[in-house]
Structure 1
Amino acid sequence: MSAIAAETFSASVSNVASPKAVPDTYGSKAHHLANGKGFTNPWPSLRSLIIQSNRSRWHNGNLTGPSTKDVPFKVRTPKYLPSRHADNSNLRATWLGHACYFVEYPEGLRVLFDPVFSQRCSPISFLGPKRFTDIPGKIADIPIIDAVCISHNHYDHLDLPTIKEIHRLHPSVFFFVPLGNKAWFTSIGIKNCIELDWFESRTLTLTPTSTDPDSKTVTTGQAPGSISATIELLPCQHTSNRGLFDRSLTLWGSYSVSTASKSVYFAGDTGYRTVPKPDGYKGYPANDYEHPPFIDLDECPAFKTIGDTRGPFDLGLIPIGAYKPRWLFSCMHADPRDAARIFQDTRCKKALAMHWGTWVLTDEDVEEPPVLLRTALKERGIEETGVFDTIAIGESREF
């Protein structure tokens, strides 16, 4: 089914009628810089952001870290529901590589998170990190896209060719972005772009353009067959930039996307604490949560706030990769032990992993994240399978 044939709904965005209160610690907007020119992470869990030493490792398109030769990863051909009203009473999530998930809600809503369908995550098509696993199909294979949620503007999460192709095939789709990113979308001719601050939300309503007796009504008081969702930007610990001189000028975030039946938490790209490089550094212990001087490091409080005020969630989509060396990446990328804590803090009932298995961005072995995740879950008293899982690129799970 083509995107045009599937488009039988008109979409609109409005303010949430009764928005949830902004938590007290965020009402002051401490994440906004005082001069109004950018944003910051307002927690002691991020002590520094060291990136310069990593730039030179990307110039030839590959890091000098782990090998990707003969990796056993299989990429499946994704299978999507053919229409909004396919027989499906479950929440359905399909991993499309790195941080990209396509989520199909029982009511018929279809949401795409951080889509990148290019070979390289780079401003230059022939330089920068190149995929070591295949792209799982084409954007044209996805029959319906109602909303695209972008966590921040780094090239492995916001890709120009991908965004333009989505807009071409699905011209009525709405793009939800953190503050400061709308200008980028406007510059490429996209008007359906909604900027959000942390703990700011909108209602996305899909209304049938023709009578459909098989459509599903989500809430009373709406037009028969309409679909409604609340999309809210939430905090995470990261940064932003697409060039050398725009660091942190635009906001970053995570998302809650909920309908009357199901709720999804998308963690975006995030760190959880900052693990420093100690004096006399000779490497890190196997578990830096259990050894001095790392035991009492500050942890990002945003995730517990999200869980306490917005949870529980039916499904969490949580990053587990791109974390070594810890002294360089811990402040902005969660490792599996961090991810297990984010899962618990945000009160997700189930979770799927992301942000691994696609590009070599850091130094850990490409097969390590899922192995370490199972260890981390066991340490936290969480079942090793069936609760917070890793899946194949192109694979779908139902909840």
Structure 2
Amino acid sequence: MPSMWKAVKFLMETNHSDIPKEEVLNQTLPILKPNFNYDVNRISMTWIGHSTSVINMDGVTILTDPIFSTRASMSQFVGPARYRKAAATVDELPQIDAVVISHNHYDHLDLGSVEALNARFGSDLYWLVPSGLKEWMKEVGVTQNVIELEWWQSTCIPNHPDIQFTLTPAQHWTRRGLTDERKVLWGSWTVIGPKHRFFFAGDTGYCPVFKQIGQMYGPFDLSAIPIGAYEPRWLMEPQHVDPEQAVQIHEDIRSKLSVGVHWGTFALAHEYYLEPPMKLKTSLNEHNLNETEFITISIGETKTI
């Protein structure tokens, strides 16, 4: 977790994100209208923005780290504002069976989005969260179908007993207020069905645990791995991978296809806003990997394999 002096130093450094006006963004980062008509025999991912994606596999539809609000903050009046809107509203989503939460930072666990999802889906929706988050969910009105897991612990949801959800480790931290640092757990998610395997890295720095995840649960058919919010490295390296480290995770977990997330939505760090996909391609070439193995897609776009 960054100390106060590191936070001040970060704010004093030059920010190279250079977010342009919307008319330029519409060309460089277009937002597509999602098509949620999935092929039930295949595995699909629709990128809603940031780390929020809809995953459809083996008859189950999963939502990752939902944030549909304008700001990733404790208040919708201050804090980081999205420069690209979500590809869909909560009301426009397909029927969601399960939400997986990686950790409680505001850009991954958004109060307004939790409330909206709970209002729409109610008892039909299951929430899979790291240990310690169940009490927070209860406080904000989600009083049923919340399943807490420790690292390496697995569960299923009643309507899909053939789908195994496992909270796997990641290198990160948690906090929402001034006094709750590391009071709840964080992690990545491994989802294994009868035909397909999906991995969601959440938010993470690089660490050797990904090799272990790959050995235990790989190979994965599809993975969502963060590639943004990584500069400056002196601050971000312990908690956010850069594109080269994201490629290393891709290799460690033995992913057949990975999609870069956690970029193109909020200016949370100092790299140029279009740098993550460019560095990703460079890193793939340096690892002698085909550029089709680890890709980026447009907000609202669906990738099916």
TM-score between both structures, scaled by the size of structure 2? 0.93
Give, in whole Å, the separation in 2 of the partners of 1:359 and 1:393: 13
The answer on 1:204 being equivalent to 2:157 is yes
SS of the residue corresponding to residue 147 of structure 2 reads strand
Give, in whole Å, the separation in 1 of the partners of 2:246 and 2:30: 23
Closer/same/farther in 2, CA of residues 58 and 139 from structure 1, 3 Å limit: farther
Question: Partner amino acid for 2:294?
Answer: F
The answer on 1:362 being equivalent to 2:269 is yes
SS of the residue corresponding to residue 256 of structure 2 reads strand
Give, in whole Å, the separation in 2 of the partners of 1:170 and 1:57: 43
Name 1:323's counterpart in structure 2: 230
Question: Partner amino acid for 2:35?
Answer: K
Closer/same/farther in 2, CA of residues 54 and 78 from structure 1, 3 Å limit: farther
Conserved? CA contact 1:238–1:332, under 8 Å: yes
Conserved? CA contact 2:40–2:56, under 8 Å: no
The answer on 1:247 being equivalent to 2:181 is yes
Deviations 1:107-150 (A, max 9, x none): 32100000100010000111111111122121111121000000
Conserved? CA contact 2:84–2:264, under 8 Å: yes
Name 2:80's counterpart in structure 1: 129
Give, in whole Å, the separation in 2 of the partners of 1:51 and 1:362: 16
Give, in whole Å, the separation in 1 of the partners of 2:164 and 2:226: 23
Among residues 192, 210, 223, which one is paired with 1:258 in the alignment?
192
Shift of 1:66: 1.9
SS of the residue corresponding to residue 366 of structure 1 reads coil
Shift of 1:50: 2.6
Shift of 1:54: 6.0
Closer/same/farther in 2, CA of residues 53 and 98 from structure 1, 3 Å limit: farther
The answer on 1:79 being equivalent to 2:32 is no
Among residues 70, 79, 87, which one is paired with 1:119 in the alignment?
70
Give, in whole Å, the separation in 2 of the partners of 1:99 and 1:229: 22
Counterparts of residues 81-230 of structure 1 (less than 5 Å): 81=37, 87-105=39-57, 107-171=58-122, 172-190=124-142, 191-206=144-159, 228-230=162-164
Closer/same/farther in 2, CA of residues 197 and 325 from structure 1, 3 Å limit: same
Shift of 1:345: 0.6
Give, in whole Å, the separation in 2 of the partners of 1:125 and 1:261: 41
Equivalent pairs, count = 296
Give, in whole Å, the separation in 1 of the partners of 2:9 and 2:132: 29
Question: Partner amino acid for 1:78?
Answer: P
Closer/same/farther in 2, CA of residues 110 and 95 from structure 1, 3 Å limit: same
Give, in whole Å, the separation in 2 of the partners of 1:57 and 1:394: 35
Structure 1 gaps of 5+ residues are 1-48, 207-225, 273-299
Conserved? CA contact 2:152–2:167, under 8 Å: yes
Conserved? CA contact 2:102–2:130, under 8 Å: yes
Give, in whole Å, the separation in 1 of the partners of 2:5 and 2:49: 26
Percentage of identical aligned residues: 39
Deviations 1:157-196 (A, max 9, x none): 0000101111111112010000111100011221211000
Shift of 1:310: 1.4
Question: Partner amino acid for 2:130?
Answer: P
Highest Rg: 1 or 2?
1
Question: Partner amino acid for 2:50?
Answer: H
Give, in whole Å, the separation in 2 of the partners of 1:56 and 1:368: 24
Conserved? CA contact 2:164–2:193, under 8 Å: yes
Closer/same/farther in 2, CA of residues 331 and 181 from structure 1, 3 Å limit: same
Counterparts of residues 35-50 of structure 1 (less than 5 Å): 49-50=1-2
Give, in whole Å, the separation in 2 of the partners of 1:151 and 1:352: 17
Give, in whole Å, the separation in 1 of the partners of 2:3 and 2:103: 17
Taking only aligned residues, the RMSD between alpha carbons, in angstroms, comes to 1.7
Conserved? CA contact 2:15–2:271, under 8 Å: no
